Amino acid sequence: MFMMFAMTSDSVGEIIKEVKVAFSVTNAQASLMHSLPMLGIALSGLFLGFLADRFGRKNTIILGLAVFGVACYSFMAANDFVLIVSLMTLSGIAVGIFKTGALALIGDISSSTKQHTATMNGAEAFFGVGAIIGPLIVAYLIHSGVAWQWLYVIAGGVCTLLITIALFVKYPSYQHTHAAEAEKVSLLQSLKLIKNPYALGFSIGAFLYVAAESAIYVWMPSYLVCDVTSLKATYECYSAGSAQTLAIYSVTAFFVLRALGRFVGIWMMSHFNWALVLTLFSGAIVVCFAGGLMGGKQVALYLFPLTGIFMSVIYPTFNSKGISCFPKHQHGSVAGVILFFTAAGAAAGPFIMGLVSDANGGDAKYGFMVATVFATILFAGLLLNYIFNPTQQRLAEIEASEYGVN
């Protein structure tokens, strides 16, 4: 599921190039293909996240996948820009539904909060794989003269397979042992979680992280451009060879390192203090961003993609620890709250960076300064988290009550 979602969401940049030509839309209009699906995910996570707790993980996942599949197959009839954006928005709403169910399910199948974090890194690693292969599929389709809409048909096929598997897989039946709590789950109770310090703290962390991360895959290509007046001369300032190749495939390098880092994170988060790892890695991100800005494009060419390693484990761990601070019958609701802030960061971060860059002559360097501020605030928060360890007692209580670990 995570891989399928990433295949479509992280291919939007490639699709936008085709849609702009086909429908003669402006950059602002084309940006709706990114912002509206993110808005759909955010609102769906916040207002529909409780479904996984109220009606069960299996039903919620199948519902979300069914809506996503319908949206994907409908792309074959999408020959109008408004319809394309509408279908992307619908797919975002569907993602919010099945992803909160999936995130809650991870808690059900975990035997401890530490295993929960390792499993979450594994799931997000497949998201990283989808982020790599999605744009490659779109590029291959376009190069072969095939409509980009077939990417969604492929995703729809994967979605159909996942629904079939979900129908026959036996899910943990914790809902039956928490029937009283499940009956109390509602939208209002879900929204009240926003005021909870644990849910809010990890949600703000997710917002800051995604806002900083989005600078890489949204604005790094623009920052590395040396001659904005000529696309042909875009990377001529880099010496021929490995440097020029890295300049062209810098975003792909970032996604590869992020995916590899998450697979390693499965082991890392089972053996090391998660708070210390996140503090060190977030500090390394600040160093890479600041070094890339002070050293110029020739230095950023190496430091910016390198952040993929350090960013790899941060978001899965935020998700895991944030969800683990609550009993299992609330996992869907709190996952929805964190997902809301995640999508909000993905939508607001690049937009704010774009505004700042435009206000300073269109230079993407100023957008990365904003991203560095986001990363610095994130590091400060994680450093305080490591020093004061506010979740230690809460996680210990959850371990004892939900997982039977003393």
CB atoms < 10 A from the CB of 284, how many?
18
Q: For the chain, give percent helix, strand, coil, nearest 5.
A: 85, 0, 15
Half-sphere exposure (CA, 13 Å, Cβ side) for 391?
26
Residue 388's φ and ψ, nearest 5 degrees, are: -95, -20
> Residues 31-63: pLDDT tens digits?
788 889 999 999 999 999 989 998 899 999 999
d(CA 325, CA 144): 49
Residue 58's φ and ψ, nearest 5 degrees, are: -60, -50
d(CA 87, CA 74): 8
Q: Which residues of the chain have pLDDT under 50?
A: 175-177, 183, 228-231
d(CA 253, CA 302): 10
Mean confidence (pLDDT) of the chain: 88
> Residues 343-377: pLDDT tens digits?
999 888 888 888 888 888 888 899 999 999 999 99
How high is the pLDDT of residue 309?
Answer: 96
The token duo for 394 is 């809460």
Contacts of 26 (CB under 8 A, 6+ apart): none
The token duo for 16 is 């936008």
d(CA 211, CA 344): 9
Assess contact for 251 and 224: CB atoms under 8 A.
Answer: no
H helices, E strands: number in the chain = 22, 0
Residue 67's φ and ψ, nearest 5 degrees, are: -65, -40
Assess contact for 201 and 323: CB atoms under 8 A.
Answer: no
d(CA 155, CA 96): 16
d(CA 139, CA 329): 43
CB atoms < 10 A from the CB of 195, how many?
8
DSSP string of 146-199, one letter each residue: --TTHHHHHHHHHHHHHHHHHHHSPPP-HHHHTHHHHHH--HHHHHHGGGSHHH
How high is the pLDDT of residue 401?
Answer: 83
Q: Is 10 helix (H, G, I), strand (E, B) or coil?
A: coil
Q: State the pTM of this model.
A: 0.88
How high is the pLDDT of residue 177?
Answer: 44
b/e per residue 50-78 (b: at least 16 CB within 10 A)? bbbbbbbbbebbbbbbbbbbebbbbbeeb
How high is the pLDDT of residue 231?
Answer: 45
How high is the pLDDT of residue 323?
Answer: 95
